[in-house]
Chain A
Amino acid sequence: MSIRKRFQLISLVLAIGSSVFFTGCLSQESALVDDAAVVTIQNKGSDTIVNLALAWAERYQEYAPNVSVAVTGGGSGTGITSLINGTVDLANASRQIKTEELEAARENGIEPIEFVVARDAIAIIVHPSNPVDTLTLQQLSDIYSGKIRNWLELGGEDRPIVLLSRETNSGTHVYFLEEVVRLGNAEDTTLFSVDTLLLPSSEGIGTEVRQNPNAIGYDGLGYVTDDMKTVAVSKGEGEAFWPPTVETVNTGNYPIARDLYIYTAGEPQGAIKTYLEWILSAEAQQIVLDLGFVPVSYE
C-alpha cells in the first residue's frame, strides 16, 4: 500500500472511531431523556461514612431503580465544603458542622439541615501482640500529644509508640483532636504530636496497625477487623474500662462515641427526602449494624 493510501486509511479509522465515540455518548444522553427521568443524588464527604453510604446506595437501587446515588469520599471537610458550594445534595460528616462553615453556607444562601443517621465508636486499635489492654482518656491524650513515647510507660513492651492518625480533612481526626487530645476542653490548644503519621485513609491506618507492633491508631468501629486489637477505654482513673461495641455505645458507657451526620442544603424535598427517610428506616439501620456501626436508636 502506498504511503498516501496508508495515511488515508489511518485517518479514516480515526475519524470513524471518534464519530462512534461521540455518537455513543450523544445517543446515551438522548436515550435517558426519553426514559423515565433518572434522578441522581450526589452524596459526598466523610471517609468514615463512605462505605456505609455505598452500602445504602447499593441497597436503595433495589427500591428505586430510577434513583442513582453517586458516592464520593474525601473527608467530612470535603463534603461540607461541597455543600457550601452547592455542588452536592447530601454531605456526609463524622463531625458536626463548624460555626465558620455554617456562616459560609448561609452567605451562599444555603441553610444546612442536620440529620443523625448512625452512631459510631472511635476504637483505639493496636497490633494483636500488644499486651496493653486498657487506657484512660488522659493516657490517650498524653500519647497522642507526644508526652508518652514508649509502650513501657503503659505497662507494655519496650517499644517506641508509632502514632497513626487520619488526615486533617477527616471528621474523625477533628473529633479525636477535640474530644481526646484536648479532652473536650474548648480552650485547650494542644496539638497532635508532630511525629504523628497522617495516613491517607482508614485502611492506611489498618494496614500499618496490622503489621507494626509499635503502632497505635484510631478509627471508626466499622473499620476494625479481626486482625486488629481494640483497647478498652475509661473516662479516667478509677473508672471502668469499656471496649468499643454497639452495646457500650448505645448505653453511653464508651467514652469516645459520636454521632454520624448527613447534612442537606435546606429542607430535603422529593427524591432526597425519600432517600433520607429510607436511611432512617429499620432496613437501612440494619445495614448500619452489619457494617459495624451503631444504629440510631429511635422509638
Chain B
Amino acid sequence: MTKTQDTSASSSSDPKSGAAAEALTPIYEMHRSQASSLLEVVIERAIQTSGISAVVLVALIFLFLIKEGVPAFFEIPLSSLFAARWYPIEDYFGLISLVAGSLLVTVGAAAMSLPLGLATAVFIAEIAPSWARDFLKPFVEVLAGIPSVVIGFMGMLVLAPFVRTALDIPTGLTAFTGMLVLAWMALPTIVSVVEDVLDSVPKTYRDAGLALGLTRWQTIWRIVIPAGRTGILTALMLGIGRAIGETMTVMMVTGNAARIPTGLADIFMPVRTMTATIAAEMGEVAQGSAHYHVLFAVGLVLFLITFLVNLMAAVVVFRQTKRAERLLS
C-alpha cells in the first residue's frame, strides 16, 4: 500500500522513534503511582500485547509455512525439485519454471514501473500546476484501489487480444502482458513514495541549484533526484514486492504454462508464476500429500523473497541514515 508502507519504511529509520513517549515517561510514572486504576492497568496490558502481536503473527506465519513446507524437501528428492518440469499430478515437482516465471515477470514489471513511476512522480511534484496536483494525487491512489481481479478481468478481455494482434504473436497471454499489467499495478506505490521523497527534499537544494544558474530540469535531474535516491530505491523495492506477490492478475493474463524462459523471445510466451500456481492448485490437494507440502514450500519461497527484499530496503535506508548522521554531526 502506498502511504502506509512509506511510513513504515521511513519511520523505522526515524531517530525520534518513541521520543514522544520517552520524554514524558518519568511524569507518566509519577502520575501512574498516584492515580492508576485496575481498568487502566488492564487496558495498558492489552495495548502492550497488541504491540507484540505483529511479531507474533509474522513468526506464526513463518513457522506455519515451515511446518507445512519443509516436509516437501524430505518427501521429494532435491533433483526432482530442481528439474525442469512442473506437473504435480504426475509427481513432477520441478520448481525452477515457477521461480523463473515469477522472476521474469517481476523484473520486467519493475524495469517498466520505475522510470514510469519516477516520471509521474516528478510530474506531479515538480511540473504540474498546483490545481492539477490536487487532482492527480488522489487519482493515482484510485488506481491503487482497483481490485486486482478487476484489472485481471480487463487484461484478459481487452489487453491480451490487443497484445496478440499488435505484436503478431501466437497468443496474448504472455509474460509481457503480465509485466505490463503488474508494472501498472505497482505504479501507485512507487509514485506515492517517490512523490513524498521529492517533497521532503528541502527547498534550499532547489534554490541553490537555481542560484547557480541551472535550469529547473537540471536542478531536478542533478540535485533533487539524487538527493532522494534512497527513497527512490525504497520505492523500487516496494514496487518489486507488490509485483512478485500479485496473484489474480497474473493468473488471468499470463497463460500459466510452466515453461522455463531461456531467451528474450520468451518474454512473448506464456509463463507460470509461483503465486498463480498456489492459487490454482491449492484447492485440490489432499491435506498432507506431497503436492500439498510443495505448494506450502512455494509459499515459503515467496515469503522469504519478500522478506529479503524488505530487508535490503531497510538496510539501504539504514546505511543512508547513518551516512547522513555522520555528515551532519
Instruction: Please tell me if B170 contacts chain A, counting CB pairs below 8 Å.
Output: yes
Query: Given known contacts A168-B87, A200-B251, A208-B173, is B269 in contact with A195 (CB within 8 Å)?
Result: yes
Residues from chain B with a CB closer than 8 A to the CB of A249 are: none
- A207-220 vs B: 1/0 string, CB under 8 Å? 11001101100000
Residues from chain A with a CB closer than 8 A to the CB of B85 are: 191, 194
Most A CB atoms within 10 A — which of B92, B160, B252, B286?
B286
Q: Which of A76-84, A276-284, A291-299 lies on the face that meets chain B?
A: A76-84
Instruction: Please tell me if A85 contacts chain B, counting CB pairs below 8 Å.
Output: yes
Residues from chain A with a CB closer than 8 A to the CB of B179 are: none
Tell me if A211 and B161 are in contact (CB < 8 A): yes
Tell me if A168 and B170 are in contact (CB < 8 A): no
Query: Given known contacts A85-B287, A101-B286, A168-B87, is B280 in contact with A197 (CB within 8 Å)?
Result: no
Which residues does B use to contact A, with CB under 8 Å? 84-85, 87-90, 92, 97, 156-157, 160-161, 164, 170-173, 251-252, 255-259, 269-270, 272, 280-281, 283-287
Contacting residue for B284 out of A78, A104, A162, A191, CB 8 A: A78
Residues from chain B with a CB closer than 8 A to the CB of A200 are: 251-252, 256, 280
Instruction: Please tell me if A17 contacts chain B, counting CB pairs below 8 Å.
Output: no
Residues from chain A with a CB closer than 8 A to the CB of B280 are: 167-169, 198, 200
Please, how many angstroms separate the alpha-carbon atoms of A139 and B287 in the complex?
A: 38
Query: Given known contacts A168-B281, A169-B281, A197-B256, is B87 in contact with A81 (CB within 8 Å)?
Result: no
Instruction: Please tell me if A75 contacts chain B, counting CB pairs below 8 Å.
Output: yes
Tell me if B171 and A212 are in contact (CB < 8 A): yes
Instruction: Please tell me if A288 contacts chain B, counting CB pairs below 8 Å.
Output: no
Q: How far is the CB of A284 from chain B (nearest CB, A)?
A: 26
Query: Given known contacts A75-B284, A169-B284, A196-B257, is B156 in contact with A191 (CB within 8 Å)?
Result: no
Instruction: Please tell me if A160 contacts chain B, counting CB pairs below 8 Å.
Output: yes
27 contacts between A and B (CB under 8 A): A75-B283, A77-B89, A78-B283, A81-B284, A160-B170, A162-B170, A162-B171, A168-B87, A168-B281, A169-B284, A191-B85, A191-B90, A192-B87, A195-B269, A195-B270, A196-B257, A197-B171, A197-B270, A198-B255, A198-B256, A198-B257, A200-B251, A207-B156, A212-B161, A214-B170, A214-B171, A215-B171
Contacting residue for A81 out of B160, B171, B285, CB 8 A: B285
Contacting residue for A198 out of B171, B272, B285, CB 8 A: B272
Tell me if B89 and A81 are in contact (CB < 8 A): no
Please, how many angstroms separate the alpha-carbon atoms of A223 and B156 in the complex?
A: 18
Please, how many angstroms separate the alpha-carbon atoms of A185 and B70 in the complex?
A: 35
Tell me if B286 and A199 are in contact (CB < 8 A): no
Residues from chain B with a CB closer than 8 A to the CB of A195 are: 257, 259, 269-270
Instruction: Please tell me if A74 contacts chain B, counting CB pairs below 8 Å.
Output: yes
Residues from chain A with a CB closer than 8 A to the CB of B258 are: 194, 198
Please, how many angstroms separate the alpha-carbon atoms of A74 and B282 in the complex?
A: 9
Q: How far is the CB of B38 from chain A (nearest CB, A)?
A: 21
Tell me if B255 and A199 are in contact (CB < 8 A): yes
Q: How far is the CB of B103 from chain A (nearest CB, A)?
A: 18
CB nearest to A210 among chain B residues: B161
Instruction: Please tell me if A122 contacts chain B, counting CB pairs below 8 Å.
Output: no
Please, how many angstroms separate the alpha-carbon atoms of A169 and B284 in the complex?
A: 6
Query: Given known contacts A169-B280, A191-B90, is B172 in contact with A81 (CB within 8 Å)?
Result: no
Residues from chain B with a CB closer than 8 A to the CB of A194 are: 84-85, 97, 257-259
- A33-67 vs B: 1/0 string, CB under 8 Å? 00000000000000000000000000000000000
Residues from chain A with a CB closer than 8 A to the CB of B170 are: 159-160, 162, 212, 214
Residues from chain A with a CB closer than 8 A to the CB of B156 are: 204, 207
Please, how many angstroms separate the alpha-carbon atoms of A77 and B259 in the complex?
A: 24
Tell me if B89 and A174 are in contact (CB < 8 A): yes
Residues from chain B with a CB closer than 8 A to the CB of A160 are: 170
Q: How far is the CB of A181 from chain B (nearest CB, A)?
A: 11
CB nearest to A72 among chain B residues: B283
Tell me if B171 and A208 are in contact (CB < 8 A): yes
CB nearest to B172 among chain A residues: A212
CB nearest to B88 among chain A residues: A168
Residues from chain A with a CB closer than 8 A to the CB of B257 are: 194-198
Q: How far is the CB of B248 from chain A (nearest CB, A)?
A: 9
Residues from chain B with a CB closer than 8 A to the CB of A214 are: 170-171
Residues from chain B with a CB closer than 8 A to the CB of A192 are: 87
CB nearest to B270 among chain A residues: A197
Residues from chain A with a CB closer than 8 A to the CB of B164 are: 212
Tell me if A74 and B88 are in contact (CB < 8 A): no
Please, how many angstroms separate the alpha-carbon atoms of A162 and B171 in the complex?
A: 7
Most A CB atoms within 10 A — which of B171, B252, B258?
B171
Please, how many angstroms separate the alpha-carbon atoms of A171 and B141 in the complex?
A: 42
Please, how many angstroms separate the alpha-carbon atoms of A189 and B90 in the complex?
A: 9
Tell me if B171 and A104 are in contact (CB < 8 A): no
Tell me if A207 and B259 are in contact (CB < 8 A): no
Residues from chain B with a CB closer than 8 A to the CB of A198 are: 255-258, 272, 280
CB nearest to A168 among chain B residues: B89
CB nearest to A173 among chain B residues: B89
Residues from chain A with a CB closer than 8 A to the CB of B255 are: 197-199
Sample of 12 more A-B contacts, CB < 8 Å, known A169-B280, A197-B255, A197-B257? A77-B284, A81-B285, A162-B170, A169-B284, A191-B85, A194-B85, A194-B258, A195-B270, A198-B256, A199-B255, A200-B252, A214-B170
Please, how many angstroms separate the alpha-carbon atoms of A233 and B164 in the complex?
A: 29
CB nearest to A192 among chain B residues: B87
Tell me if A167 and B256 are in contact (CB < 8 A): yes
Tell me if A199 and B87 are in contact (CB < 8 A): no
Contacting residue for B286 out of A81, A162, A211, CB 8 A: A81
